Structures are given as structure tokens and as C-alpha cells.
Chain A
Amino acid sequence: MSFRRRLSILAAGLTLAWLGVAAADAQDTLLNVSYDPTRELYVDFNQAFAKKWQSETGKKLTVKQSHGGSGKQARSVIDGLDADVVTLALGYDIDAIADSGLLAKDWQARLPNNSSPYTSTIVFLVRKGNPKAIKDWNDLVKPGVSVITPNPKTSGGARWNYLAAWAYALDKNGNDEAKAKEFVGQLFKNVPVLDSGARGATVTFTQRELGDVLLAWENEAYLSLQEFGADKFEIVVPSLSILAEPPVAVVDTVVDRKGTRKVAEAYLQFLYTREGQEIAAKNFYRPRSPELASQYAGRFANVKLVTIDQTFGGWRPTQEKHFADGGVFDQIYQKGR
């Protein structure tokens, strides 16, 4: 029970703890700061990697996990949470960390596939039998349909939801921005609760039985089926959705200070190996490796996916235009009330 020992050391050295002097670790430890729906994925992945690390180096490895809304997690890292690696919901949040100087600005080019070892998309979760007959995005703006999504200002997943709806409206209206704004505005008029994170929204929909449809990460939707039973909910795949690329990165200043760069980099690279990709696929993330993608093809619906770079020109301008204070999302909300 190394943890118990660690705690008793802590208790004995309360004065030390008070001063905040961090005790040196005898073994390798990593802190992975991640977003909400990856809890189950990283429980499996950490176990597999720790085993591999021990067999290769003979050292015991403990991976500590922190989960929360993507923006909140990035904020903690900026404020000094000692994350060796960050695995967040969207590139903008890691950009924000890079802006504070904690890691190199070109972080996204350092690993394959835009540093996103797995992808996901946005799908609908509806109640069994689909009583409101929801098939596509345009069903969500109908009167009397209640839509559950988290708050795009605080939740990474919700930003993907919002952008997927926007992309659908652009596609249907010949790239007319004003029409897209109107469409998304109407959609958000049907939203009765804005939880701050993806997990909160799922709990609201599944446990509190609020709403007719939940806009969710694909992996989160499948997980809900698994957790709460396929006899209660169904997944509906819209005609068009967005390719969500949750990125990962090593936090340079932290690993250099703690001397954990080697293990941190190996950790992220392991995500790209066959074993890592398989764990991701099992947890309903779309694997990048073509080989596994075809192996698990039956698991994921074939849907037309747009990307943030093509349709929106990347995260920074998107964040600025849509989600910053006074941006399109704020305007929608002020007009709506």
C-alpha cells in the first residue's frame, strides 16, 4: 500500500506539507489531466501502459488522473497543476496552455494526425422507440422538442455540438452564415438546461429524465447505452456531423522540471500503437490506424464528417468568433430572451 505509506509520511510531515515542499517520488509517476468522458478510456489505458513500462524499464509507474470540463482543466494547468501530459477535448484549450508558455506553440505538429490519436463525432441519444421521431439536425429545431447539451462556453464537447449544428445549417443553406446563426439560435431555444460539462448533461438526460434528445460525444452515447441499458435509449446518427479531434500533448516545462519527459512521451506514443488504438476503439473512440479502423468499422456509423479546419478555418478564429464574450453564442442568447 504505497499510497497509505505516502499519506502517513504526509501526516507526519504536516509542517513540510504546509510549506508545500513536494517529496521526491521513488517511482515514476505521471499526471494526466484530461476532460470529462475519457475516464473509462484512461483507466484501461493506464493499466496497459504501466504494465508495458514495467516490463521494458523495470520501473513501477503510477498514472494519476484528473478529469473535468476541458476548459477548467486547461485553466488548472495554466495555474500550475503539474500535468505531465494533457489529453483535452479540443486544440484550443491546449493552445491556451501553450500561450502561457508551458509548452511549445508547435505542439500539434509533434505527434501524428494533428496530435489526435483517436477521433470521435457528435451523435444524438434519444429515448427508446424515438418517440419524437428525431432523425437529423432539422428535427431538433421543431417546437416541442427538448434538447440537452452542455454549455459551449465551458464544455469542449458542447462546442463540437454547436459547430456540428452550424456546419449542418451551412451545408443545407448554401453556406449562408445568417441562416446558420438563425438555425443554431432556434436549436438553443429548445435547450432547457445548460450543464457546465458533458457528464453533467448526460446525467441530466439519463438520470433526471429531462429532454427528448441529448447531443453527445459518440463514445459517451455508447457508454450510456452500456451503463443504463440499451432498453432505455437509442443512438441516432445525423446525416452530417463534425470530426472531433481530441488532442494530446506533453507539457514541456513540467516534464523537464520533473525529469519525466521520457515516460511522458512514451505514454502518448503508446496511444498510437496497435494496443493503444485497440483500447481506444473498445472505449468507442474511433481509432486512427487504418488497420484497426477497418477491424472496428462495424462499430461506428458511416457518417459524412466535416472538419474544423476546412469548415471553420481552425480553432483560434472559431473560438474568437463564436465563443468569446460577446461572440455569436452570446448574441444568440441575448436575442433569445
Chain B
Amino acid sequence: MTSILKKPSVLPGFGLTLGFTLSYLSIIVLLPLGALIAKAGSLGWFGFWDAVLTPRVLAAFQVSFGLSLVAAAINAVFGFIVAWVLVRYQFPGKRLVDALVDLPFALPTAVAGIALSALYAPNGWIGKPLNELFGLKVAFTPIGIAIALTFIGLPFVVRTVQPILQELPPEEEEAAVSLGATRGQTFWRVVFPAVLPALVTGFALSFARGVGEYGSVIFIAGNMPGLTEILPLLIVIKLEQFDYAGAAAVGTSMLLVSFVMLLILNILQHWMRSRHAR
């Protein structure tokens, strides 16, 4: 066991903890995911792509990825403003607002789903005025999905940007100002570049979460093939048609995308750390 150690350590428990970690990881995560890939693999190389590259699946990819991007973009803008306000300004009830930001982490997605669909349905608190005044339909349209995804993704942006803003040394801004920069210049040239990696990370996390989201979306999405049908729902639908291999194929392709996203995220975080250290 100790032979894979790069340098010896006086601390005990390497074999025990690594062994336990690996076995637990294998039983809970790797083995079941292996079953998924094996099932998808039972289709064969061409069968797999045949199952994934159908118009319906591709449309669902477009819906899930497109709307997750929209939601992540909304969150990047408003999440940044929220983080900025929470770090830089003082106002009554600030601590309460700060705590509220984590609500989507703690609130079960199904609860969020029925609450949002009650609010945004054509006869809901928000849906009704929107529909009557502007003729805008929210629930059961792509807008509804984007709203649900914005809800669940918001804390990711706020919570990655907030600490970076907090730790931003005031000296740099002071220096910029003493060199004659305006407030706007200081923000765009000093503050924003420092926060950008965190913002991108938050954006990516929010996006990744959105792609896989199920509970909060199905209540508010119209589930129309090609228009408001998200990928996880398509997996469920394939299962209900007893098409296990097809479901596994869509699942595997999503898994592939998540894995790539995760890799990009780790690289981003690495980049952030090295910038931070500099």
C-alpha cells in the first residue's frame, strides 16, 4: 500500500483510510456507474450513437444545455450583484438575506417545483398578471424551465464569488484610485479581473447543476418533445417504454458531459489558485 506514497509520512492510517475510501467509492459510485456504461455498451458502438443521435434526444440536449446556459448567465449577473451588495454594503436585514441565499441548497427540489408552478401558472400570483398584462406565458414554456434552473443555481455563483470579493485586498483599489483611475475604471480593470475566475467557476457549477436537474423542473416544464422536454425526463420516459439500453445511452452521454465539465472546473480552480498565489 505504502509503495504508491510519493513521500513517506509519520502519520498512520494511510492504508486504512485509502482502502476504506476506495472500497466505499467503488461500491456506491463506480460499480453502479459501471453498470450504466455496460448497459449502454450492450448497444454496441453504432447502436449507442443511433440511440443518442435521434432528433428527439438532440432536441432535449439543446433544451437542457441551452436553458441551463441561460439560467447560469442570469445567475452570473444577478449573483454577482447579490455578492457585491452583501460584501460591500451595509443595510438592515443583511444577515437574513445572506442566509436566504442558501435556500435552494436546503429546499427539496420537488417543493421548489410545486411552489414555482403554483406561482407562475396562468392563474398564479405572478403568472396571472404577466399573462394578463403582457400576454406572457411562463409556466409550461422554456421560460418556466429557465426560472426553475435559475432558482436552483443561484447560490453557486454567490457562494463562489463572495469569498473572493471579501478577500480582495483594498490596497490594489486604493493604488488604482491614487493613480487617477475613476470608479468605473477601478472596477473593470482591478476588481473584475480578480473576481472573474470565481465568477466563471460559479457559472460553470450553476450550469452543471442545471443540466441534471429534475425535481424542480418537471412540475413547471410542459414536457413537449423537442420544445420543453429536458434530458433527465427523457431518460425517465425511455425507462417507461422499457428501453433500458436507450435510457442508459442517454445517461452515459450526460455522464460524459458532466465528467468533462468537472475536469474543466478543476482546471479552472487550479488556474484560480495559481493566479491567487501570484
Contact = CB atoms under 8 A, between A and B. Distances in A.
Direct A/B contact, Cβ within 8 angstroms: yes
Interface of A: 69, 71-72, 74-75, 78, 96, 151, 153-154, 191-196, 204, 207-210, 323-326, 330, 333-334, 337
A333 B140 contact: no
A150 to B, nearest CB: 9
B117 interface: yes
A71 B117 contact: no
Contact of A210 (B55, B140, B242): B140
B241 A193 contact: no
Interface in B208-242: 218, 222-227, 233, 236-237, 239-242
Interface of B: 54-56, 117, 121-123, 139-140, 218, 222-227, 233, 236-237, 239-243, 246
Nearest to A70: B240
Nearest to B219: A200
Chain A interface, DSSP helix/strand/loop, else mixed: loop
A204 B55 CA distance: 27
Contacts of A192: 140, 222, 224
A75 B223 contact: no
Contacts of A72: 236, 239-240
Closest 10 CB pairs of A and B: A71-B240, A193-B222, A208-B121, A72-B240, A209-B123, A193-B140, A154-B240, A194-B223, A333-B225, A337-B226
Of A78, A191, A209, the most chain B CB neighbours within 10 A belong to A209
A11 B218 CA distance: 33
A208 B240 contact: no
The CB with the most chain A CB atoms within 10 A, among B55, B122, B225, B243, is that of B225
A196 to B, nearest CB: 6
Nearest to B57: A325
Nearest to A97: B242
A233 to B, nearest CB: 15
Contacts of A71: 240-242
A153 B140 contact: no
Given A207-B123, A325-B243, A337-B226, 17 more contacts: A72-B236, A74-B242, A96-B242, A151-B223, A151-B237, A153-B241, A154-B237, A193-B222, A193-B224, A194-B224, A196-B233, A196-B236, A208-B139, A210-B122, A325-B241, A330-B225, A337-B227
A333 B59 CA distance: 12
A207 B114 CA distance: 12
Contacts of A330: 56, 225
A325 B246 contact: yes
Given A192-B140, A209-B121, A75 B240 contact: yes
A153 B121 contact: no
B239 A78 contact: no
B239 A195 contact: no
A337 B226 CA distance: 8
Contacts of A204: 140
A207 B56 CA distance: 29
A324 B240 CA distance: 12
Contacts of B123: 207-209
Contacts of B140: 192-193, 204, 208, 210
Nearest to B225: A333
B223 A195 contact: yes
Given A151-B223, A208-B117, A209-B123, A196 B237 contact: yes
Nearest to B218: A196
B156 to A, nearest CB: 28
Nearest to B127: A208
A210 B240 CA distance: 26
Given A194-B223, A195-B223, A325 B239 contact: no
B97 to A, nearest CB: 31
Nearest to B238: A325
Contact of B237 (A153, A207, A208, A333): A153
A334 B233 CA distance: 18
A26 B1 CA distance: 50
A82 to B, nearest CB: 19
A70 to B, nearest CB: 9
Nearest to A324: B241
A325 B249 CA distance: 14
A333 B241 contact: no
Contacts of A195: 223
Nearest to A332: B225
Contact of A194 (B54, B56, B117, B225): B225
Contacts of B233: 196
Contacts of A96: 242
A324 B241 CA distance: 8
A196 B236 CA distance: 10
A330 B237 CA distance: 13
B122 A209 contact: yes
B222 A75 contact: no
A194 B222 contact: yes
B239 A75 contact: yes
A297 B56 CA distance: 45
Given A194-B222, A195-B223, A208 B122 contact: yes
Contacts of B240: 69, 71-72, 75, 153-154, 196
Contacts of B54: 325-326
